Amino acid sequence: MSDLISFILEIFLEIKYWIKHGKQRKHEKENNLPKSVVWAPYTKQFIIIFIIFIPVCFVFIFFNSIGENEKNTKKRIMKVSNLLEAEKKQFGKYPSELKNIIRNNPLRKNIEIDSWKTTFVYTTSNDRKSYQLISLGGDRKLGTKDDILHSSK
Structural domains in the chain, CATH included, are 2-64 (no CATH), 68-151 (3.30.700.10)
pLDDT at 38: 67
pLDDT at 146: 86
pLDDT at 78: 93
Q: Which of 108, 80, 109 is nearest to 94 (CA)?
A: 80
Element (H, E) at 42: none
User: In degrees rounded to 5, what are phi and psi of residue 105?
Assistant: -90, 115
Distance CA 138, CA 27 (A): 64
pTM of structure? 0.60
Classify strands 121-124 and 148-151 as parallel, antiparallel or unpaired. unpaired
Q: How confident is the prediction along the chain (153 residues), in pLDDT tens digits per residue? A: 888 888 888 888 889 888 988 888 888 888 888 877 767 777 777 888 889 989 998 888 888 777 888 899 999 999 999 999 998 999 889 998 888 888 888 888 888 899 889 999 999 988 888 999 999 888 888 888 888 999 886
Instruction: Spell out the residues 6+ positions from residue 138 whose beta carbon is closer than 8 angstroms to its own.
Output: 69, 116, 146
Distance CA 67, CA 61 (A): 12
Distance CA 43, CA 25 (A): 19
